[in-house]
Amino acid sequence: VSPATDFRAAGFLSLENLLWLAQEKPELYRALRHKTRGKRSEYEYPFAIAGVTLTYKLVKILDIKQPAPTTATGACFARLIAQHEDAFEAVYAQAFDVLDQTWLEFGNATYMDFPRVMEITLSKLEKAMDKAQSLEDIATSLGV
């Protein structure tokens, strides 16, 4: 199996997001990549696959492929991207941070818990974005 197929769902954007995270948020990147925060599970989620999946899910919930926002979350993102050129990457970093926190909250999570952890993460993000006016509002609401 070719590793390139891991990117097909989110494309090159998912690789760019991982690179942006490493370059712009190196402490967060290292904490997520090396699983240095909290009491870790014996079976951890795969970092790169989590990043690719997160990119794919964000493209959907942020209405990126829509000509105009269709949800409150999409409308919030449209405001953010007009203010910040790297808004998508910033939201990605916040969401990845929340994903890791949610994983830790599960206690002894396994890979089989990953879909539920992702679902909870996205729900938290949507809730935070539905009321936010800025990236800082989102971060405050998410506690990151």
* pLDDT tens for each residue of 39-62: 887 888 989 989 999 999 999 999
Question: 31 near 99, Cβ under 8 Å?
Answer: no
Provide the residue type at 134 as one letter: S
Q: What is the CA radius of gyration of the chain?
A: 15
Which whole number is the average pLDDT over 69-98? 96
pLDDT at 114: 94
pTM of the predicted protein model? 0.91
Average pLDDT, the chain: 91
132 band by pLDDT with thresholds 50, 70 and 90: very high
Give the orientation angle of helix 26-33 with respect to helix 87-105, to 10 degrees.
40
Q: Distance between CA 137 and CA 116 in Å, rounded?
A: 25
Tens of pLDDT along 5-45? 555 566 789 999 999 999 999 999 999 999 999 888 788 89
Q: Distance between CA 51 and CA 19 in Å, rounded?
A: 10
pLDDT at 27: 97
pLDDT at 9: 62
